[in-house]
Amino acid sequence: MTKNQKLLDWVKEWAEICQPDNVYWVDGSEEENQRLLNEMVEAGSAVKLNEEKRPNSYYFQSDPSDVARVENRTFICTEKEEDAGPTNNWMAPDKMKAEMLESYKGCMKGRTMYVIPFSMGPLGSDIAKIGVEITDSAYVVVNMRIMTRMGKAVLDVLGDGDFIPCIHTVGAPLEPGQKDVKWPCASNIDDKYISHFPETNEIWSFGSGYGGNALLGKKCLALRIASTMANREGWLAEHMLIMGITNPAGEKKYIAAAFPSACGKTNLAMLVPSIPGYKVECVGDDIAWMKFDEEGVLRAINPEAGFFGVAPDTSMKTNPNAMLSLNENSIFTNTGLTPDGDIWWPAIGWDCPDGTITWKNEKYTTGSDVQIAHPNARFTAPASQCPVIDPLWEDPKGVPISAFLFGGRRPNTVPLVYQAKDWNHGVFMGSIVGSEVTAAAIGLKAGVRRDPFAMLPFMGYNMGDYFQHWINIGANAPAPEKLPMIFNVNWFRKSDDGKFLWPGFGDNIRVLGWILDRVIGKVDAVETPIGFIPKKEDINIDGLEGQAELMDELLEVDNKRWLDECELIAEHQAQFGDAFPKELKAEYEKLKASLK
């Protein structure tokens, strides 16, 4: 247990509100983990997978009403609405807490309240933060054991220090004698809340047992709350992968990269290079926390200890290292369950066996059109099992970042790769990141859907102020010459007939190789109105048949298209009003002037 009086008082207060049958302090041991998993198997909420095919791994099906993040029920609760900004759902803290407290009263009757002490980042790192999550879900406990460092060791490090309080309940109390359901949650979407209180560093979640709604260390703490703490304290909490790249000469650098969803972030983090001599190692696939060290170098840790990845389309072809990471000691949610006790999802690399159980507990027969796995089906796997995990991934000091990458899905306009002219220009590049969408495809207005810094769903405060924070990081850097270089990549550029101009996947190492050469100072570049682009001969395309003829189009900067882009950028910037930094307005004006 603990002697931390603030923590003891907090747990006692919430136990009185939620009225659980008992309170259990999680110790993080293997014995405890196995006991909880066994209890869930016995209760019918989990299935133990085939021990020979997938040792010590388990399968869960969620309720069909509880399958993903619920953005419209995710709130940033600040005293002033403008502090939450135009991209977040806002409610005043007092009002939200009053509303939610009514729901919390007695919400854990018939259940156990688990107290989970957890560290985001290596224990003892001065970049790491400690949180404590209260939950009534054993599913959350076993997932948090994979995704964070949790249990007794965290309490030992915490001592009587401060922690980030996180409250979670599935919102489904049990009356005496009432049988539990397989996946308890609030079935009505309006009864779900994922609320953040940045001014007091609190997270309150009610009604959902799924993913980031329930594993509160993930997006809630690691991005929404951490981004506000980083703003106050002068560091960065970012939706970025961290990877190490070593070139054939043995020179190694670390980069951090931000991409919106469906842009190949996890694939890039665990890239298998297509050309010999290069080596890629993964520090993290999703989140980076970064602080300057005493020498002015920006260092990054991965605050997570596991991967919580989207399963469909992950395969030995698209991401072999992810597939090898989840061979054992993993949890699968809303995939298919095969008759021989393994898992299945679309594009896994083999046909779905007859008799597979779908995520909705239906039986699949060959040729039927039932949905076998939910599109957001997930795997939870320890990062330590990744074959290319970086040797320094748990170094408390973090790894030194030499470059930032931004990128989205852009079929035209944006070249394969370009480099910022300076720090503020790089922040401008990050602020306009987006992917092109068609209204027919996802019901949105056709055009560019902006996702600045890939942070749109995960921002804990006003995004205009966030842009200013990035500007300030550069302005106040202890050693400006050591700031990371900033690049934008676009693997998705297409020809006029709709064909991709770049092969992507393992061949992306060819672009990363040029970025590495720029960081080391090995190659020059060509200055254009939007930034520096490579000389064609400096991107290694050996062995790529027909690629040479496509490079002009891939690297083209069309002034007319960029002037059209400027109109869209102006529209995007206008939503932030007075919070939009003057430095980025200046970058916009410089871009426009250079295009004419």
pLDDT in tens, 236-273: 999 999 999 999 999 999 999 999 887 889 999 999 99
Count of residues making up the chain = 596
Structure token digits, residue 287: 């989140």
CA distance 90 to 507: 43
| pLDDT recorded at residue 108 | 98
| pLDDT recorded at residue 1 | 80
Sequence-ordered list of residues with C-beta below 8 angstroms from that of 331, at least 6 positions apart, any chain: 57, 58, 59, 60, 142, 143, 146, 379, 380, 381
Q: Which of 220, 263, 282, 386 is catalytic?
A: 263
Residue 448 region by backbone torsions, left for phi larger than 0, else alpha for psi between -120 and 50, else beta: beta
| pLDDT recorded at residue 187 | 87
CA distance 321 to 575: 41
CA distance 402 to 518: 10
**Secondary structure in 3-state letters for 540-564:** CCCCCCCCHHHHHHHCCCCHHHHHH
CA distance 264 to 258: 10
| pLDDT recorded at residue 345 | 98
Q: What is the mean pLDDT of residues 529-551?
A: 97
Contact status, residue 107 vs residue 15, Cβ threshold 8 Å: no
Give me the phi and psi of 130, to 5 degrees please: -105, 135
Q: Rounded to an integer, what is the distance from CA 188 to the centroid of its chain?
A: 26
Q: What does the angle CA 385 – CA 50 – CA 37 come to, to the nearest 5 degrees?
A: 70
- Would you say residue 186 has pLDDT above 90? yes
Residues 259, 262, 265, 268: what is their CA dihedral angle, to the nearest 10 degrees? -120
Q: What is the mean pLDDT of residues 363-390?
A: 96
Active site residue 263: yes
HSE (side-chain half, CA atoms, 13 Å) at 575:
14
Structure token digits, residue 537: 């001969």
Q: In terms of DSSP H, where are the helices of 458-506?
A: 463-475
- Beta strand ranges found along 411-510 (DSSP E): 417-419, 434-437, 447-450, 485-489
Q: What does the angle CA 248 – CA 254 – CA 258 come to, to the nearest 5 degrees?
A: 120
User: Model confidence over 100-157: pLDDT tens digits?
Assistant: 999 999 999 999 999 999 999 999 999 999 999 999 999 999 999 999 999 999 999 9
Q: In terms of DSSP H, where are the helices of 439-508?
A: 439-442, 463-475
Instruction: Give the pLDDT band (50/70/90) at residue 439.
Output: very low
The C-alpha R_g of the chain, in whole angstroms, comes to: 24
Q: What is the mean pLDDT of residues 333-342?
A: 98
Sequence-ordered list of residues with C-beta below 8 angstroms from that of 9, at least 6 positions apart, any chain: none
Instruction: Give the pLDDT band (50/70/90) at residue 429.
Output: very high
| pLDDT recorded at residue 374 | 97
| pLDDT recorded at residue 596 | 86
Structure token digits, residue 553: 């189009």
| pLDDT recorded at residue 438 | 53
The structure's pTM equals: 0.97
| pLDDT recorded at residue 445 | 54
